[in-house]
Homo-oligomer: A and B are copies of this chain.
Amino acid sequence: MNTTRSGRPALTRPDGTALRVLVVDDDPDLSEVLTGALRYEGWQVRAAADGAAALAAARELRPDAVVLDVMLPDMDGFTVLRRLHETQPEVCVLFLTARDAVEDRIAGLTAGGDDYVTKPFSLEEVVARLRGLLRRAGMARRPEPEEDPGLVVGDLVMDEDAREVTRAGELIELSPTEFELLRFLMRNPRRVLSKAQILDRVWSYDFGGRAHVVELYISYLRKKIDAGREPMIHTVRGAGYVLKPVTG
């Protein structure tokens, strides 16, 4: 079975091979980070730095999805999208855009089921949105062909579409950051995650703050998830945190 670098089972194409993703951004640092994060998901990733290179790479790679910066040195992201769709109408696109930029134009052109995130974003958000896109487009299937249960760890259940979390059937209200943090934990159960790792994945890449916020948000999550119950979030002193089912 195709697996991620982290050992989790990967989201794959219907035929079981790795999903193919093309990353298009002219900032080499950002491109590097994105490429790494997506490879970590077990996907086959390729990068391009401008529109022309993107179209060329797309012809060769025939990607399932494209992560596409709106501002490219040679051409508009929308032009890239249109040209892409001419030859590969099935491809999904996730736009990257500055917050106060041409957000309305983006809005208009993503109506077809594509999506966008505004910079600065967290890697967890990009990955989540990309997974959502691919899942809805029917391009991806879960490794187990049976019913997709969503994210489940013990009696803790997360419905990403409804943005709902329940423990033992009881609804738990979470703030956006709490939700992202829990999603990251639930996608890596029984695995110790360092504060640095959490900071990298859940907080925006330009976040300058210190690891103290992670401790703080872990404590928030504990209050909401572990309050009066057998704890699922455990501290591993000097290493990080781990989420485990109660009888694990």
Contact = CB atoms under 8 A, between A and B. Distances in A.
Interface of A: 3, 5-7, 28-29, 32-33, 35-37, 39-40, 45, 78, 81-82, 85, 89, 103-104, 106-114, 116, 123, 135-138, 159, 161-163, 175-176, 190-192, 196, 199-201, 205, 208, 236-239, 242, 244
7 contacts: A5-B138, A29-B78, A37-B112, A103-B196, A104-B199, A108-B205, A176-B239
B111 A237 contact: no
Nearest to A238: B176
Nearest to A191: B161
A109 to B, nearest CB: 6
A190 B162 contact: yes
Contact of A113 (B39, B162, B196, B208): B39
A236 B163 contact: yes
Contact of A200 (B28, B85, B108, B200): B108
Given A123-B111, A138-B3, A239-B163, A32 B85 contact: yes
Contact of A33 (B3, B7, B109, B163): B109
Tally of this chain's copies: 2
Contacts of A33: 108-109, 111-112
B176 A191 contact: no
A163 B192 contact: yes
Contacts of A116: 196
A36 B111 contact: yes
A174 to B, nearest CB: 10
A65 B110 CA distance: 23
A201 B162 contact: no
A218 B237 CA distance: 20
Given A161-B190, A208-B104, A136 B239 contact: no
Nearest to A133: B5
Nearest to A148: B7
